[in-house]
Amino acid sequence: MGFEKKLAIKFKQFLSKLSFFHAQNKTYLCSINFFRMTTVFKEYLNKHNYSNFDLKAVLFDMDGVLYDSMKWHAKSWKETMDQFDIPSTSEEFYLYEGMVGSYTIDYLINREKGRSATSQEKESIYKLKTELFSKYNDGSLIPYAYDFVKKVHDEGLICAVVTGTGQPTLINKLEHNFPALFEKERIVTAFDVENGKPHPEPYLMGLEKAGHLYPNQAVVIENAPRGVEAAVAAGIFTIAVNTGPMPDRVLADAGANIVLSSMEALFDGWDEYRKSLI
- Give tens-digit pLDDT for 165-183: 876 766 778 999 999 999 9
For residue 36, tell me if it sits in a domain. no
As a whole number of angstroms, the distance between CA 102 and CA 62 comes to 18
215 and 128 assigned to the same domain: no
- The whole-angstrom separation of Cα 127 and Cα 121 is 10
| Claim to verify: residue 56 and residue 184 sit in the same structural domain | yes
pLDDT at 2: 53
Q: Looking at residues 213-217, what average pLDDT do you find?
A: 98
Q: Is residue 222 part of a domain?
A: yes
Say how many domains are in the chain. 2
Q: Which of 115, 136, 157 is the last residue of a domain?
A: 136
pLDDT in tens, 19-34: 333 333 333 233 335 4
161 three-class SS: strand
Q: Which residues are bridge partners to 259 per DSSP?
A: 240
Is 21 a member of any domain?
A: no
Q: Evaluate if residue 138 carries a pLDDT over 50.
A: yes
What CATH number does the domain containing 82 carry?
Answer: 1.10.150.240
CA distance linking residue 97 with residue 241, whole number of Å: 14
Q: Domain boundary residue among 83, 116, 136?
A: 136
Candidate from 13-17, 113-117, 144-148 with smallest mean pLDDT: 13-17
Cα 83 to Cα 155: distance, rounded to the nearest angstrom = 48
Q: Where are the beta strands (DSSP E) in 200-250?
A: 218-222, 237-241
94 contact partners, CB below 8 Å, separation of at least 6 = 64, 70, 74, 224, 244, 245, 246
Q: What are phi and psi of 179, to 5 degrees?
A: -55, 130
Instruction: Give the model's pLDDT for residue 234.
Output: 98
What confidence tens digit (pLDDT) does each residue in 96-137 have? 887 888 989 999 999 999 999 999 999 999 999 999 998 998
> In this structure, are 262 and 130 located in the same domain?
no
Query: What is residue 24's predicted lDDT score, i.e. its pLDDT?
Result: 37
Shared domain for 105 and 158, answered yes or no, is no
Q: Same structural domain for residues 98 and 191?
A: no
pLDDT surpasses 50 at 253: yes
Alpha helices of 188-277 — where are they, by DSSP H? Answer: 201-209, 225-233, 248-253, 263-277
Q: How far is CA 126 from the centre of its chain?
A: 24
Same domain membership, residue 131 and residue 240? no
What are the C-alpha distances in Å from 258 to residues 41, 54, 222, 240, 248? 9, 18, 10, 6, 10
Q: What is the pLDDT of residue 23?
A: 34
Residues 6+ apart with CB under 8 A from 238: 219, 220, 222, 228, 231, 232, 255, 256, 257, 258
Q: Are residues 171 and 247 in the same domain?
A: yes
Domain that holds residue 125: 70-136
Q: Are residues 53 and 91 in the same domain?
A: no
Last residue of a domain, one of 136, 153, 177: 136
Residue 9 included in any domain: no
Q: Does residue 28 lie in a domain region?
A: no
CA angle 33, 36, 37 (to 5 degrees): 85
Question: Both 61 and 191 in a single domain?
Answer: yes
148 and 196 part of one domain: yes
CB 188, CB 202: distance < 8 Å: yes
Please check whether residues 64 and 79 belong to one and the same domain: no
CB 56 within 8 A of CB 157: yes
| 108 and 234 belong to one structural domain | no
Strand partners, 49: none
